[in-house]
């Protein structure tokens, strides 16, 4: 009969993952907000757009990328448009689709945010060896694709 502490190792590990995520996300978001006036979510949106083919992302795709519903993204974009960082661009070939695109101000803000975020991350991961970082990267990559099955 295994001890509870051994049977519940996964519960503890997952709990630590949640805690690590919460701590980091809070800290990094607060830093971005303080340093360039946008929360982590906005940064993620700006980054996704900038990396996309043609610098355009549809609402549905963006929703998947940032782990929100399409309804959530609609309103998120509304706020970012009000802040002048992004625009909606209608798709010429399919009028159901509207793309999100960066404004010049959005691209500039992303540049600022990237500098801050890089610095914050090197601080947060200070003390981690290259090998550990590679392990972390590999583990997270597998985990995010882990079988949703059943």
Partner DNA sequence: TAAGATTGAAGCATCAATCTTG
Partner DNA sequence: CAAGATTGATGCTTCAATCTTA
- Please list, in sequence order, all residues whose beta carbon lies within 8 angstroms of the beta carbon of residue 59, skipping any fewer than 6 positions away: 70, 73, 74, 77, 97, 98, 100
User: Could you give the CA distance from residue 141 to residue 1 in angstroms, rounded to a whole number?
Assistant: 34
| Under rule CB under 8 A, residue 144 binds its own copies | yes
**Shortest distance, CB of residue 67 to its own copies, whole angstroms?**
4
Cβ pair 63, 70 in contact under 8 A: yes
User: Which residue in the set 5, 67, 147, 150 belongs to the binding site for DNA (CB under 7 A)?
Assistant: 67
Residues in the chain: 150
User: Which residue in the set 59, 85, 101, 113 belongs to the binding site for DNA (CB under 7 A)?
Assistant: 59
| Under rule CB under 8 A, residue 70 binds its own copies | no
Site for DNA in 23-42 (CB under 7 A): 39, 41
Local structure of residue 93 (DSSP, 8 states): S
Size of the site for DNA (CB under 7 A): 26
User: Could you give the CA distance from residue 24 to residue 121 in angstroms, rounded to a whole number?
Assistant: 9
User: Which residue in the set 94, 104, 126, 141 belongs to the binding site for DNA (CB under 7 A)?
Assistant: 94
**Shortest distance, CB of residue 112 to its own copies, whole angstroms?**
14
Local structure of residue 63 (DSSP, 8 states): H
| Under rule CB under 8 A, residue 20 binds its own copies | yes
- Please list, in sequence order, all residues whose beta carbon lies within 8 angstroms of the beta carbon of residue 72, skipping any fewer than 6 positions away: 63
C-beta closer to its own copies: residue 66 or 81: 66
Q: Please give the residue ranges that form the binding site for DNA (CB under 7 A).
A: 39, 41, 58-61, 67-79, 88, 94-99
């Amino acid at each position: 009969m295994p001890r509870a502490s051994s049977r519940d190792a996964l519960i503890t590990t997952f709990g630590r993952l949640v805690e690590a995520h919460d701590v980091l996300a809070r800290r990094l978001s607060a830093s971005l907000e303080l340093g360039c006036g946008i929360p982590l979510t906005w940064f993620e949106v700006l980054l996704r757009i900038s990396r996309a083919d043609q610098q355009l992302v549809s609402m549905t795709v963006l929703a998947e990328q940032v782990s929100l519903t399409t309804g959530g993204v609609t309103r998120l974009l509304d706020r970012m448009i009000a802040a002048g960082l992004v625009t909606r661009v209608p798709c010429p070939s399919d009028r159901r689709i509207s793309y999100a695109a960066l404004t010049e101000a959005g691209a500039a803000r992303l540049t600022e945010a990237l500098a801050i975020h890089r610095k914050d991350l090197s601080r947060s991961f200070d003390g981690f060896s290259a090998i550990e970082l590679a392990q972390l990267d590999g583990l997270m990559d597998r985990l995010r694709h882990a079988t949703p099955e059943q």
